[in-house]
Amino acid sequence: MFAFRLARQCGYPHPRMMLAQMTSSEFGEALAYDRIDPCGEYRNERRHGQHMAMLANFNLNLDEPAKPVEFMNFMNQPEEPDLTPEQIEARLDRIFGG
């Protein structure tokens, strides 16, 4: 997913075109930098969470202050339970027609 986000930020129509012009070390540097200063949707979502938490804390009488992560949509997705080996095999069979 990171390659698609980076390609979009750099103006490439597809990551394949971007990666053809990058070395693996350059891609690794971009990946490391993204962990420090994320680009794209995560950054927007984080900013939104900070604004919403500030508004909630200012306007509501909460027992504990609201945290930005509580307002970040993709951070609150329910976790998928661990799958058994049989469930993994069945899922792969559905995907690859086994």
pLDDT at position 8 is 84
Tell me how crowded residue 9 is: count the other CB atoms within 10 A of its CB: 13
Q: What is the pTM of this model?
A: 0.45
pLDDT at position 76 is 54
Tell me how crowded residue 49 is: count the other CB atoms within 10 A of its CB: 20
Residues 10-19 have pLDDT tens digits of 899 999 999 9
